[in-house]
A and B are shown apart, each in its own frame.
Chain A
Amino acid sequence: MKQTKTGPVASSTLDTLRCRLCGTVTEAGPFHVCEECFGPLEVDYDLEGLHGTLSPELIRSRPTNLWRYRELLPIERDPEGGHAVGWTPLLPAPRLGDALGIEDLWIKADSSNHPTQSFKDRVVAIALQRAHEFGISVVGCASTGNLANSVAAQAASAGLEAWIFIPEDLEPEKVVATGVHGARLVRIKGVYDDVNRLCAEVADRFGWGIVNVNLRPYYAEGSKTVGFEIVEQLGWSLPANVVAPMAGGSLITKLEKSFKELEKVGLVAESRTPRLFGTQASGCAPIVNALHAGESRVQPVRKPDTIARSLAIGNPADGPFALRSMLDSGGWGEAVSDDEIVEGIRLLASLEGVFTETAGGVVVAGAARLAREGRFAKGGPTVLCITGNGLKTPNAARATFELGEPIDPRLSEVVRLAEAGQQEPVG
């Protein structure tokens, strides 16, 4: 499929993609790069035309999945799949809030997303619908794990062939949760950025739908549904602060876009952007490093070194845009150590009953730092985006508790344990 340029225009619809740099408009095909300047292409909606056509009542009448916002998503036909994707819980987190010193704290729990327990289920649902609309029968991705799981699972249920490219050292749980779906799993001797570069060449050579390469303009839009849901679940009001993990940096930029779009179509009355906060692991923090250094240039990290493998992207695709989202909204970013990540996992699990993977630990630990620094706006909800499930990185949490020796099945043994723990028997 060939790009057809129509030149810069004032407004557009799903028929076209617009370059985020130079504004050149191209046909809405499976492309991610502007032929003029190589800038990233983005879906452009006729939001003014939608103003007043969407109401809370209309959206409430629809099924509880991400397609309830379909006018703001880049699809042309009724969705084929993804009918259980999205609408994850927004949970009040008062106990964690007390521990971190954050009032009115909430957890957006994409750790329970369907079908693969991460926020990636959203972006993949959009990308595969778009692949279907383009008539693409082979899909794939470059992945640090969660995306691999989701592409494999959703391709399986859609009857699509999937080629999944991963770094060779990925956690075994994520490898199993991909391969079991029958996907072709290709392990690459290198880091994620090697895998990503290879996939760019694969998409170019084979014409497959690589969800985070040539389907990226559509794929990335799926992240907006996190923001849409947060606002709807807060009763169509904006949070004061949102904390997200950053790997490629796309999620935080799409959170910003989601809030702005809801305002433009009239679904929220407030004209402001919540403060957006990005968190990374200090062993791979190219975006936060640039933020702290006051640079607009994001210097890649060649060899990421962190237990947060799902965030270990040394050359973040949306790094410069993520920087702008944080700064323009009045937010900030922090990076945290592996020990802080483990403590973040423990705090969330032990205080709120939500078991997250390492990326969620980064968010909790990052929020703790941001709270200590007094970065959060007061007087409104603060939402932590918990994007993945702890069962995918169980080893990271193993050190958070002590497992005693097995005991004989005798009551006296339990009495001994209870006395050691100062629990008095009641009878």
Chain B
Amino acid sequence: MSVTVRVPSALRKLTHGRGELEAEGATVRDVLAHVGRENPDLLARITEEGGELRQFLNVFVNGTDIRYEKELETPVSEGDEVSIVPSIAGGRE
């Protein structure tokens, strides 16, 4: 599945300035891993050591928070938009 990953400006120095990345995968975890192969600094910044998302970062698939789906195992389909959005003040805790 080919999806578009939207990267916030705060992270674009880790993607050579690119705000949108194309990636492959069947789940959000796959997609982020795929993105991480070309942008290892980005992957290191957005995930904890165990591979889970950082506390104050949220990921949305077509506008739906993956916390309401299956977290990183949320499936993605061809053409989906995966947005990485820093929390407003609060976070995943």
Does A associate with B in a complex? yes
Which residues from chain A contact B55 at a C-beta distance below 8 Å?
21, 38-39
Partner of A197, one of B9, B60, B89: B60
A: number of interface residues (CB 8 Å): 38
Interface of A is mostly: loop
Residue of A21, A38, A197, A216 contacting most chain B CB atoms (<10 Å): A38
**A40-B58 in contact (CB<8A):** no
Which residues from chain B contact A302 at a C-beta distance below 8 Å?
68
Using CB atoms, name the residue of chain B closest to A196. B88
Partner of B56, one of A21, A193, A300: A21
**A320-B91 in contact (CB<8A):** yes
Partner of A297, one of B9, B60, B85, B93: B93
**B88-A213 in contact (CB<8A):** yes
- Shortest beta-carbon distance from A1 to chain B in Å: 10
A317 touches B (CB below 8 Å): yes
Q: Which of B44-93 contact A (CB under 8 A)?
A: 54-58, 60, 63, 65, 67-68, 83, 85-93
**A3-B10 in contact (CB<8A):** yes
**B67-A317 in contact (CB<8A):** no
**B67-A38 in contact (CB<8A):** no
B: number of interface residues (CB 8 Å): 24
Which stretch in A29-37, A124-132, A380-388 binds the other chain? A29-37
Chain A residues packing against B (C-beta within 8 Å):
3, 21, 31-33, 35, 37-40, 190, 193-194, 196-198, 200-201, 204, 212-213, 216, 220, 248-250, 296-298, 300, 302, 315-321
Which residues from chain A contact B6 at a C-beta distance below 8 Å?
201
**A317-B93 in contact (CB<8A):** no
**B88-A204 in contact (CB<8A):** no
Chain B residues packing against A (C-beta within 8 Å):
6, 8-10, 54-58, 60, 63, 65, 67-68, 83, 85-93
Partner of B89, one of A32, A204, A297: A32
Which residues from chain B contact A201 at a C-beta distance below 8 Å?
6, 8, 83, 85
**B90-A38 in contact (CB<8A):** no
Docked Cα-Cα span, A312 to B68, in Å, equals: 17
Which residues from chain A contact B90 at a C-beta distance below 8 Å?
40, 248-249, 298, 315-321
Given contacts A21-B56, A37-B54, A38-B56, contact A300 B65 (CB under 8 A): yes
Q: A21-B56, A40-B91, A317-B90 are in contact. List 12 more A-B contacts (CB 8 A).
A: A32-B88, A38-B54, A38-B87, A39-B56, A40-B87, A201-B8, A212-B88, A298-B93, A315-B90, A317-B88, A319-B90, A321-B89
Using CB atoms, name the residue of chain A closest to B58. A197
Using CB atoms, name the residue of chain B closest to A3. B10
Docked Cα-Cα span, A65 to B65, in Å, equals: 40
Instruction: Report, nearest first, the 5 A-B pairs whose CB atoms are least far apart.
Output: A317-B89, A38-B56, A33-B86, A317-B90, A40-B89
**B54-A33 in contact (CB<8A):** no
Which residues from chain B contact A296 at a C-beta distance below 8 Å?
93
- Shortest beta-carbon distance from A391 to chain B in Å: 29
Docked Cα-Cα span, A43 to B91, in Å, equals: 19
Partner of B65, one of A193, A204, A216: A193
- Shortest beta-carbon distance from B42 to chain A in Å: 12
- Shortest beta-carbon distance from A207 to chain B in Å: 9
Using CB atoms, name the residue of chain B closest to A21. B56
Using CB atoms, name the residue of chain A closest to B92. A297
7 cross-chain CB contacts under 8 A? A32-B89, A200-B8, A201-B83, A204-B8, A212-B88, A249-B90, A296-B93
- Shortest beta-carbon distance from A166 to chain B in Å: 16
**A318-B63 in contact (CB<8A):** no
Docked Cα-Cα span, A35 to B55, in Å, equals: 13
Using CB atoms, name the residue of chain A closest to B53. A38
**B10-A33 in contact (CB<8A):** yes
Docked Cα-Cα span, A297 to B89, in Å, equals: 14
**A200-B86 in contact (CB<8A):** yes
- Shortest beta-carbon distance from B13 to chain A in Å: 9
**B86-A38 in contact (CB<8A):** yes
Which residues from chain B contact A319 at a C-beta distance below 8 Å?
90
Docked Cα-Cα span, A293 to B7, in Å, equals: 35
Docked Cα-Cα span, A196 to B57, in Å, equals: 14
Using CB atoms, name the residue of chain B closest to A299. B67
Docked Cα-Cα span, A69 to B92, in Å, equals: 34
Which residues from chain B contact A216 at a C-beta distance below 8 Å?
88-89
Docked Cα-Cα span, A4 to B90, in Å, equals: 22
Docked Cα-Cα span, A32 to B56, in Å, equals: 12
**A320-B93 in contact (CB<8A):** yes
- Shortest beta-carbon distance from A120 to chain B in Å: 16
- Shortest beta-carbon distance from B31 to chain A in Å: 18
Partner of B63, one of A33, A38, A197, A298: A197
